[in-house]
């Protein structure tokens, strides 16, 4: 590889003049379609200019100081073929810097041209020299004389030192032309929006470029002539880049990867994109460009909310969904894993890209699936989407839809038990293992469920302890509401609408100990009991909220309005009715869900007994018999 590439330190001017290397002389720089979008913000650009200005202001007797701004990787052979290779060096990495450099130079030219009359201390010939110098780094002009019916006409053909082949190209070139010789260039950013110059709608990346142009323009607007020209010298002569040139695109991409391995942080999606294009042939090139943009658009819209899934996150999710272990070597294990995946499992880049699009589209669909969204959102369990997608990948559309309720129940069971056991962080560790098991077992529901049960059993002790004695409501409000709803359903078969119910404390959160009496509950110990599950029930909108802090006798009367919620009724009355289907639950746990007699008070013993009842009931539903007691009809 060493013979196929070389690196040299270039100044900005040396880079754009491109006269340092004889074999590349006369070539421009070409930003191909496969490059990621120009995403530098006004903050990035302002920091760059400010840093250069700071270096300039610190110069001493020794003159200008060198300032390093990173590197650029170029290929002498273009992926687009020989014609492009003859006239251009293809930019493999560094287009963010290169684009910004061009914009700064164009704005500097505009300021010298538009403010020349106010530069009293600078001779005209010097200003012209700076203008010509800057202009030569932006464009080349080829003057041709054409004989038209005996008249010799002068025709000027303009080409760009930095040429683009992406959606930014028409705006990029138009901006350069406007700043060089546009009719209203001197007021381009002051009197009206620069966007108004364009007669076609602009996308967010095009608008960003225009914002950056005006930010640069604003930065230089208050600089005097001496500072402006000194900045030109500092920027063109002493702002340096490492320019790596390769003889072929393949080597260029390898250099691009090596930069990452050497500690320069590159996003896995950038590495993957370059790798996919690097391994593609010319006929695939255009399709790859279109499909890559399509993938990014789908990823950006996977979440229906404002919180977006980032490309890196999706790529990691994709590997997890497929049951593929992420290779841990190198600075970018996600990319390293994809590189091996592409080589071993896919015929070409388009096949892998097509599969990424397919999975992303299904991910987006599941995020909007009413059933899926409703129940995974009950506990904010986004990891559940990976498990669902793993089943989808191995079962296919038909079998997945047939088993979807059962799968959702398994996912909910796993998440709820881990959350009760206070092992939420462990979920992110076992989900990749679970997805791998799903793939290995070809989506066999019973085998996967047994695997889940083994994991759950390892935290049985934590589950039982926490559900009985922890202040569950204070720590996990949504989870507590779900647990009470599950318990209520399995005792009676009535499904409550989670949007129309709320959790109510029987012993109030702010009890009035001056007026109310509670058995063995005092101001000193009530916080140990008030948020336990045994002190909680569900109420619907008919509950009189003014009774929230009432003494127990008054609260019992207020709770009578909630006749449709079993666990609330069980506090105050004997319940013997019900169908055979739910009798097993009631017989097993009725001794704890018993009404209080008039002589009893709510207090420590009642809360402890009721917490034990919930512990036993929820263990019976969620853990015993591999979760087979958890009713599928809960999802109806």
Same domain? For 425 and 323 the reply is yes
Give the domain-ending residue among 259, 274, 304.
259
Same domain? For 533 and 622 the reply is yes
> Among 308-322, 411-425, 479-493, which stretch is predicted with the lowest mean pLDDT?
479-493
* pLDDT tens per residue across span 157-203: 889 999 998 889 999 999 999 999 877 788 888 766 788 888 889 98
Tell me the mean pLDDT in the region 107-114.
Answer: 94
Same domain? For 255 and 314 the reply is no
What per-residue confidence (pLDDT) applies to 293? 87
Q: How far is residue 162's CA from residue 36's CA, in Å, rounded to a whole number?
A: 16
What per-residue confidence (pLDDT) applies to 12? 96
Number of domains in the chain: 3
Same domain? For 517 and 375 the reply is no
Token look-up 């015993």 returns 624
Same domain? For 351 and 218 the reply is no
The answer, yes or no, to whether residue 152 has pLDDT greater than 80, is no
Same domain? For 347 and 467 the reply is no
Domain hosting 365: range is 266-454
CB contact at 8 A, 533 and 483: yes
What per-residue confidence (pLDDT) applies to 420? 93
Report the mean per-residue pLDDT for the chain.
Answer: 85
* pLDDT tens per residue across span 389-419: 999 999 999 999 999 999 999 999 999 999 9
The answer, yes or no, to whether residue 580 has pLDDT greater than 50, is no
Same domain? For 322 and 468 the reply is no
Count Cβ neighbours within 10 Å for each residue of 461-481 and write b for 16 or more, e otherwise.
ebbbebbbbbbbbeebeebbb
Give the domain-ending residue among 422, 437, 454.
454
Contacts of 481 (CB under 8 A, 6+ apart): 498, 501, 502, 503, 538
* pLDDT tens per residue across span 420-466: 999 999 999 999 999 999 999 999 999 999 999 999 999 999 999 99
The answer, yes or no, to whether residue 256 has pLDDT greater than 60, is yes
Same domain? For 508 and 612 the reply is yes
Secondary structure class of 117 (helix, strand, coil)? helix
Give the domain-ending residue among 259, 278, 294.
259
| DSSP bridge pairs for 68 | 240
Same domain? For 440 and 468 the reply is no
What per-residue confidence (pLDDT) applies to 179? 93
The answer, yes or no, to whether residue 1 has pLDDT greater than 50, is no
Same domain? For 448 and 413 the reply is yes
Q: Which pLDDT band, with edges at 50, 70 and 90, does 264 fall under?
A: very low
Same domain? For 335 and 247 the reply is no
Same domain? For 24 and 133 the reply is yes
């Amino acid at each position: 590889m060493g013979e196929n590439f070389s690196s040299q330190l270039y100044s900005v001017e040396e880079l754009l003049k491109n006269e340092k290397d004889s074999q590349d002389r006369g070539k421009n720089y070409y930003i191909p379609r496969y490059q990621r979008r120009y995403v530098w913000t006004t903050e990035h650009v302002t920091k760059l200019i400010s840093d250069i200005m700071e270096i300039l202001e610190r110069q001493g007797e020794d003159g200008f100081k060198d300032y390093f701004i990173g590197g650029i990787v170029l290929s002498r052979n273009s992926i687009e073929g020989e014609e492009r290779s003859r006239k251009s060096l293809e930019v493999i990495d560094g287009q963010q810097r290169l684009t910004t450099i061009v914009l700064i130079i164009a704005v500097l030219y505009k300021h010298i041209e538009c403010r020349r009359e106010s530069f009293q201390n600078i001779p005209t010939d010097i200003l012209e020299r700076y203008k010509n110098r800057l202009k030569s780094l932006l464009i080349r002009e080829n003057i041709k004389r054409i004989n038209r019916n005996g008249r010799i006409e002068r025709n000027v053909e303009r080409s760009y030192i930095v040429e683009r082949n992406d959606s930014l190209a028409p705006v990029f070139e138009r901006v350069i032309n406007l700043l060089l010789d546009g009719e209203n260039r001197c007021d381009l950013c002051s009197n009206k929006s620069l966007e108004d110059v364009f007669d076609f709608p602009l996308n967010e990346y095009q608008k960003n470029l225009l914002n950056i142009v005006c930010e640069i323009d604003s930065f230089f607007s208050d600089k005097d002539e001496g500072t402006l020209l000194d900045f030109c010298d500092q920027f063109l002569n002493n702002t340096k880049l490492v320019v790596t040139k390769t003889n072929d695109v393949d080597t260029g991409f390898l250099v691009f990867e090596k930069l990452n391995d050497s500690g320069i942080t590159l996003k896995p999606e950038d590495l993957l994109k370059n790798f996919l294009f690097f391994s593609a042939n010319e006929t695939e090139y255009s399709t790859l460009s279109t499909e890559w943009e399509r993938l990014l658009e789908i990823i950006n819209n996977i979440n229906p909310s404002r919180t977006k899934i980032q490309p890196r996150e999706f790529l990691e999710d994709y590997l997890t969904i497929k049951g593929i272990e992420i290779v841990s070597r190198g600075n970018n294990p996600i990319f390293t894993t994809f590189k091996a995946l592409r080589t071993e499992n896919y015929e070409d880049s388009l096949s892998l890209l097509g599969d990424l699009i397919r999975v992303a589209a299904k991910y987006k669909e599941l995020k909007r699936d009413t059933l899926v969204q409703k129940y995974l959102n009950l506990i904010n369990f986004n990891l559940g989407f990976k498990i669902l997608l793993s089943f989808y990948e191995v079962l296919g559309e038909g079998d997945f839809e047939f088993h979807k309720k059962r799968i959702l129940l398994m996912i909910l069971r796993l998440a709820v038990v881990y959350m009760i056991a206070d092992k939420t962080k462990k979920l992110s560790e076992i989900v990749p293992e679970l997805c791998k098991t799903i793939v290995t077992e070809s989506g066999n529901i019973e085998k996967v469920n047994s695997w889940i049960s083994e994991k759950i059993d390892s935290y049985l002790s934590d589950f039982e302890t926490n559900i009985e004695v922890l202040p569950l409501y204070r720590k996990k409000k949504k989870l507590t509401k779900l647990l009470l709803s599950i318990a209520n359903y399995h005792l009676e078969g009535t499904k409550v609408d989670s949007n129309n119910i709320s959790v109510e404390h029987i012993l109030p959160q702010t009890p009035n100990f001056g007026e109310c009496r509670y058995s063995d509950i005092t101001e000193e110990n009530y916080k140990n009991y008030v948020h336990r599950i045994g002190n909680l029930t569900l109420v619907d909108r008919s509950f009189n909220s003014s009774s929230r802090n009432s003494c127990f006798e008054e609260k019992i009367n207020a709770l009578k309005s909630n006749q449709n919620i079993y666990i609330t009724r069980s506090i105050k009355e004997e319940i013997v009715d019900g169908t055979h289907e739910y009798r097993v639950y009631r017989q097993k746990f009725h001794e704890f869900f018993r009404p209080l007699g008039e002589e009893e008070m709510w207090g420590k013993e009642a809360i402890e007994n009721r917490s034990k009842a919930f512990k036993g009931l929820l263990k019976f539903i969620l853990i015993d018999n591999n979760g087979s007691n958890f009713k599928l009809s809960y999802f109806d």
